[in-house]
Chain A
Amino acid sequence: GQQVMQIPQYQHVQEGEDFTTYCNSSTTLSNIQWYKQRPGGHPVFLIQLVKSGEVKKQKRLTFQFGEAKKNSSLHITATQTTDVGTYFCAGPFDNQGGKLIFGQGTELSVKP
C-alpha cells in the first residue's frame, strides 16, 4: 500500500547548525504538506507544495518538492531553540479525497 517514509527519526543539533528532514513516498503525490508539532502540542500546518520541483521559503525554512513528486525535504538554516519539535510530511491517498498519509515525523532537538 501507499507509504510515506521520513528520515531521520531524530536529529539533535547545536543551535546555529542547519537541519534537514527528508520525506519519500511510494507513489506520486498530487501535493505534499508539512506540519510542525511542538512538544506537548498539536500539529500545525506549515505549507503545501503542489508543483513538480517547487521550492518555497518561510524565513529560515526551505521546502522542496521533487521533480517526480515522490519526495520532499524541509531544510532549516541556522536552527534556533524555537525550532524544537517534530516535523511531519503528509500526502493524500490516491483517489481517497481528504485522507492524508503522514510520515513518522522527524523530532528535532536544539541544544543552546
Chain B
Amino acid sequence: AQTVTQSQPEMSVQEAETVTLSCTYDTSESDYYLFWYKQPPSRQMILVIRQEAYKQQNATENRFSVNFQKAAKSFSLKISDSQLGDAAMYFCAYRRNAGNMLTFGGGTRLMVKP
C-alpha cells in the first residue's frame, strides 16, 4: 500500500519570504501522480500543483513550484513571495495511474506572519 508522509506538522514564514514544505511517499509503482492541495479555514480543498511521475521537469504554477526527486520518493512544495492568503493546511497526495483514489499525507499547517 502507498503511504505519504509530511514530517512538518506546522511551518511559519514571514510575508514575502520563501518556504518549503516537505513530503515523502512510498510506492512500488513507477507511474503515478503527485499533488499538493491547500485547505484554508473554509475547508474547501484547492488544488495547488500536480506532478506526473514520468516527467523529469519540476512543475511550476506562478509562486508555487515543486522539487520532485523520484528516486528519493520526495516531493516538496516551495512557495515564493508568501502572502497572507497562503495561510492554510497543505496536503501532499499520491494517486496511482489507474483509478481516482488519493492517498494523503497528514498535512502541514502553514502560518504566514505579516
Bound pair (A, B): no
